[in-house]
Amino acid sequence: MESMRERTGFLFLVFVLLSFAGSLNASIGLYKHIDLSSNPVNECRLSVGDLTGDGKIDFLFNDGRRVLKAFDWDGSLLWEKFNPNDPGVEEKYHNFKLAIYDIDLDCRNEVIAFLEIEGKNCLVVLDGKTGNIKAKTELPFAAPRDHEYWGNSNYYMQDHIAIANLRGKSIPQDILAIHASKQKVAAYKYTENGLELMWYWISDTDGYASGHYTFPYDIDNDSKDEVIAGVDVLDSDGTRLWRMDLGPFNPSHPEYGSDHVDALSCADIDPDTPGNEIAVASATGMWLYKYDGTLLWNHPSKLADPVNGVMDGEGVQEVLVGNFKPEIPGLEIVFYSEQMSGSQSVVMTDRFGNFLQWGDQSYGPRRVITYAMDWDGDRSRDEIYSRKGIFDSNFNRLSYSMNWSYCNTGDGTDMFPPVVCDVQGDQREEIIWYDSDEILIIYNKDPLNGNVLPSPWNYLKYKLKVANDNHACSIYFDWSAVGNNPDQTPPLKPVNLTGISSSENSLKLTWDPPDVSEDQMPEWYKVFRDGVPVGITDQTEFTDKNLTGSSSFTYKVYSVDYFGNISSQPAVFDFETLSPHTGPSGNVQSALSAKILIGDIEPGQQRILPVTLICSDTLSKVPDKVLITLSNGAVKEIQLTGVVPGTEFTGQFVIDNSIPQGKAYFSLPQGALISKSGLTGNTISEGYEINIDNTPPPSPPFVQIINE
């Protein structure tokens, strides 16, 4: 445990008092206490992730476009962004939310956020460690506080970010930039060229906004996320598939329009029904929809239960999905009434809508940011964390809690939520409390029961869950999918790793998958350069850029399986980058060099490219061959003939159907050039790069030297 600082903060004092609360807090311990008093974070909301690349949790606070502050694991300020012209938002629990995620697959997390740049409302991708802008684009919607544009009513609500998989990639690289007022959704894909707009959706619902949040989720199991934008369900290309009918927001005031989604959660709630289901909380009640828009069941906000009594709130405000009762098929749903007091203001249903458990939010789990979490690490039965404590599936309190975070909105009425995620790196989740000047990380002191399992951070879907935990109710996470087998066998390493360089600052690596059955194939490959991870890919190739010329590197490529297990051994390749004007062999430039000239190709089936090597000095020996590296990595030999002593030598290269189109590179073996004066070399100074357009016969292919 960290040593206690001299200035005891308010949160820390509350924790000390709670520690004397008796047996209900026996399992709670203080894992870490971080002092932020030198850089306070007033009225900010917390996101977590590894910003520095050291494998530890770091902290990022934001209050909209006004302030972004990043701190490392020990509380040192990494960077901050400040916009003095932005007044912030009016309702702080509807605050802006960002994502910490490796969007460019370079094995280092970025921060995806909103910033005002030169008066423009922008989506930005920031380097997690430095805060430097890696990519940016102007958004198609105005800032939420632009009242002149939006008006003063209902349009102050938040923007937020969600990471999505709209293209069906094995690792998602798409971003939803969401303006919750009137549900405006801009979908971007991240490529090597930066952010590219895919589509833009504007809700056409009447009256009130159609929902507070937008969720990406693959509801039909087609490997692409659909987008649930309030009451509208969009396909991955932004076209509307169907719309929820939640009834009028207020039957006495039809001018208010249709009801909106206060909260929702998606999961395979009923495994006997195809696809996934959408559980919805709204002013009009509790709803469960099938993936295709079929309403499976609903309950009104005001209802009488023949056994347990009455839920009599003004509306159903939140919903939480979890595997709270593994003995029952399917998942369970917890709905929270807007009325926080009253004996029946929280209810649990099964997949069919049958009531399993009733509770009182005054004493049981309380709405406004609740989590289904794995507090005990059993990966089977979820626990519930809420502002009143940690509860089991029967709403029995396992431990007391602070009243959220005490980082409040100024008037004390609404406070920001804590964060729940794995901090220790084991199989259990911890709770991160914070206020304006300190962070407390609370953990389960009880010994683990059963097997010791890997951290869920190894699992891609957990990284996505934490990155997207920016809604009123946390996203469902299937702990059983992570696996509870402590003896998971790692995948075998890739084979035949090699590299081709096209310039002094880049390298293309290629390899083959291990020789295993289909079900044992790696899911991804992780690439390291000199011990530092530089990329992850689902392909058997990777291009490393921005290298330094005339430098040596060692590359290691590991296999990674679905659970995040990494091969015990890597494939290894040692490489030296080119000097300027050196061919792809990577050999060192010398005083003795040559240039390549190519001739014309005659039409016909026998398509021969004449190649001439002209040396800078008279050679005493005919060079044995010229090597040509093709765009697919294959290397061919061109035999040379000529008279010595001499400076000009010729050969032929047959371009048959096996020769791929694209760039190719000439090079010479080490010591291929030997002059009469004793100099040696293998540098090709001109003509070493060509472009092959392999036109089918009888027309001749087109070959052009790129670097004369």
Mean pLDDT of 235-243: 97
Return mean pLDDT, the chain. Answer: 82
Kindly indicate whether the domain formed by 593-705 is annotated with CATH number 2.60.40. Answer: yes
Q: Where are the domains of the chain?
A: 46-243, 495-576, 593-705
pLDDT at res. 574:
83
User: Lowest-pLDDT range, 244-248, 313-317, 668-672?
Assistant: 313-317
Band the pLDDT of 296: cuts 50, 70, 90: very high
Write out pLDDT tens, residues 509-550.
999 999 999 989 999 999 999 999 999 999 999 999 878 766
Q: What percent of the chain has pLDDT over 90?
A: 42
pLDDT at 681 over 70: yes
Band the pLDDT of 404: cuts 50, 70, 90: very low
Q: From residue 86, how far is each of 64, 66, 607, 651 by CA, in Å?
A: 8, 5, 67, 69
CATH number listed for the domain at residues 495-576: 2.60.40.10
Token match 């932005």: residue? 86
User: Lowest-pLDDT range, 22-36, 317-331, 543-557?
Assistant: 22-36
Three-class secondary structure of residue 275 per DSSP = coil
Global pTM?
0.78
| Same fold flag, 495-576 and 593-705 | yes
DSSP state of 211: B
pLDDT at res. 696:
67
Q: Where are the alpha helices (DSSP H) in 259-412?
A: none
Q: Tell me the C-alpha distance between 481 and 475, whole Å.
A: 15
Write out pLDDT tens, residues 149-185.
444 444 445 678 999 999 999 999 999 998 876 788 9
Q: What percent of the chain has pLDDT over 70?
A: 79
pLDDT at 496 over 50: yes
CATH number listed for the domain at residues 46-243: 2.40.128.630
∠ CA 464-469-475, rounded to 5°: 80
Band the pLDDT of 581: cuts 50, 70, 90: very low
> CB burial class (10 A; 0-12, 13-18, 19+) of residue 52?
middle
DSSP state of 2: P
pLDDT at res. 402:
53
Mean pLDDT of 661-670: 84
∠ CA 165-166-167, rounded to 5°: 95
Write out pLDDT tens, residues 184-201.
899 999 998 899 999 999
pLDDT at res. 315:
80
Mean pLDDT of 296-303: 83
Three-class secondary structure of residue 122 per DSSP = strand
Smallest Cα–Cα separation from 319: which of 471, 455, 442? 471
Backbone angles phi, psi at 538, to 5 degrees: -100, 5
- The kind and range of the H/E element at 464 are helix 460-467
Mean pLDDT of 691-697: 75
pLDDT at res. 499:
82
Write out pLDDT tens, residues 110-123.
999 988 888 788 99
pLDDT at res. 638:
93
pLDDT at res. 657:
80
∠ CA 252-245-343, rounded to 5°: 65
- Residue 170 is encoded by which pair of tokens? 């094995």
pLDDT at 143 over 90: no
Q: Tell me the C-alpha distance between 335 and 130, whole Å.
A: 41
pLDDT at res. 353:
95
- Residue 118 is encoded by which pair of tokens? 């030169």
